[in-house]
Amino acid sequence: MAKVFSRKKKIKSGGGNEEILRAQAERIDELKRELEKATAEAERLKKREEGVADAIMFALEKAREYETEARVRFELETERLETFRKRWTKLARSPETDRKLKECLSDMKKDTRRGF
């Protein structure tokens, strides 16, 4: 960034008013150029700041979307697992299941005795 606070040029006294005026005009022109550079730099930084703010807002919005989607998926999966558990619990309590399980275990014992 350009020097904003540069040293003033020393003006010799006794050189006449024209020389003093010319030196002041040069200093004014120099300060105007520095002001233009500083203004351009400030504008550039302002645009960059806006870009960063936009990126942060976009990221926050995406994070909210992902969180909402994750909550919905969690609820659906919980519901699916609850349904699955109820089905298997019902099946396990069924007398038919108990009979089939005993039959299956008996068949397995026979198979192991025979050596397949």
The torsion of the CA quartet 88, 92, 94, 99, rounded to 10 degrees, works out to 130
Question: Would you say residue 90 lies in a domain?
Answer: yes
pLDDT digits (tens, 9 = 90+) for 12-57: 555 579 999 999 999 999 999 999 999 999 999 999 999 999 999 9
pLDDT at position 81 is: 93
Q: What is the pTM of this model?
A: 0.48
**How many structural domains comprise the chain?**
1
Q: Taking residues 53-82, what's their average pLDDT?
A: 96
Cα separation, 91 vs 89, in Å, equals: 5
Question: Would you say residue 1 lies in a domain?
Answer: no
Question: Would you say residue 9 lies in a domain?
Answer: no
Whether residue 91 contacts residue 97, with contact meaning beta carbons closer than 8 Å, is answered with yes
pLDDT at position 1 is: 46
Question: Would you say residue 8 lies in a domain?
Answer: no
Whether residue 31 contacts residue 12, with contact meaning beta carbons closer than 8 Å, is answered with no
Question: Would you say residue 11 lies in a domain?
Answer: no
Range of the domain at 108: 17-114
Question: Would you say residue 40 lies in a domain?
Answer: yes
Cα Rg, the chain, nearest whole Å = 42
Whether residue 9 contacts residue 27, with contact meaning beta carbons closer than 8 Å, is answered with yes
Question: Would you say residue 75 lies in a domain?
Answer: yes
pLDDT-derived band at 89 (thresholds 50, 70, 90) equals confident
One DSSP character per residue, 30-66 reads HHHHHHHHHHHHHHHHHHHHHHHHHHHHHHHHHHHHH
Within the chain, strands assigned E span: none
**6-15, 36-45, 78-87: least confident range:** 6-15
Asked if pLDDT for residue 8 goes beyond 60, the answer is no
Question: Would you say residue 35 lies in a domain?
Answer: yes
